[in-house]
Amino acid sequence: MRAQLIDEVKKQGKPYGLYFEDVQGGFTLTTRELPQAFQVLPVIVWRVYPDGRPDQLVRGVDIVGTPLASLNRILLTGDKTEVFNGICGAESGSVPVSASAPAMLFSEMEVQKRSASRERPPILPAPGFEEMSGSSATTSPAGSAR
């Protein structure tokens, strides 16, 4: 399938193609009052170059679109069916889902930049996990007191 992706990138004259290795889930809008749309949240995405350069990891990209338009852009599918277990968000809330499908090559895929997360990592370690060495100071892995 990778060779076909590279062939399609060359055929379209694009600088690269995207290979979505893994996804964590997504959500859909399926009410009659709103446009039919979906968003898939990839975990691992690679930029694949047609000139043989090494693949480059891409961060912060989501797959978006409308179901009918996306299904009409499938060029080919793989022979092996894979199973996905994850979470899908819909009008009823987040629900666990399972789906099975082969790998797919699309002639075109709509993507968007993921909104930046405002979450920050904790400043201090969780209680009970500090390394205490006879004093009240905690030592970092580099050996300096914090």
**58 within a domain of the structure (yes/no):** yes
Helix or strand holding residue 4 (H, E):
helix 2-12
Q: Are strands 37-48 and 61-65 parallel, antiparallel or unpaired?
A: antiparallel
Nearest to 46 by CA among 74, 101, 6, 99: 6
Closest CA to 105 of 12, 44, 19, 14: 19
Number of structural domains in the chain: 1
**Residue matched to tokens 């009823």:** 92
| 134 part of a folded domain | no
Residue 20 lies in a domain: yes
**In this predicted model, what pLDDT tens digit does every residue of 62-113 receive, in sequence order?**
999 998 899 999 999 999 999 988 888 777 788 888 989 999 999 999 999 9
* Residue 123 domain-assigned (yes or no): no
With respect to residue 80, please indicate whether it lies within any of the assigned structural domains: yes
Overall average pLDDT of the 22-37 stretch: 84
* pLDDT at residue 30 tops 70: yes
pLDDT bracket for residue 144 (50, 70, 90): very low
* Closest-CA residue to 49 (of 9, 12, 76): 9
By CB atoms closer than 10 A (0-12, 13-18, 19+), residue 13 is exposed
Looking at residue 87, what is its pLDDT? 82
Highest mean pLDDT among 15-19, 83-87, 117-121, 129-133: 15-19
Among residues of the chain, what percentage have pLDDT more than 90? 52
Residues 78/102, Cβ–Cβ less than 8 Å? yes
Give pLDDT, residue 68: 87
Q: What range defines the domain where residue 90 resides?
A: 2-113
The DSSP letter of residue 52 is S
Asked, for residue 121, whether it belongs to a domain, the answer is: no
**Amino acid code (one letter) for 4:** Q
Which region among 29-38, 43-52, 81-90, 117-126 has the lowest average model confidence (pLDDT)? 117-126
1: pLDDT strictly greater than 80: yes
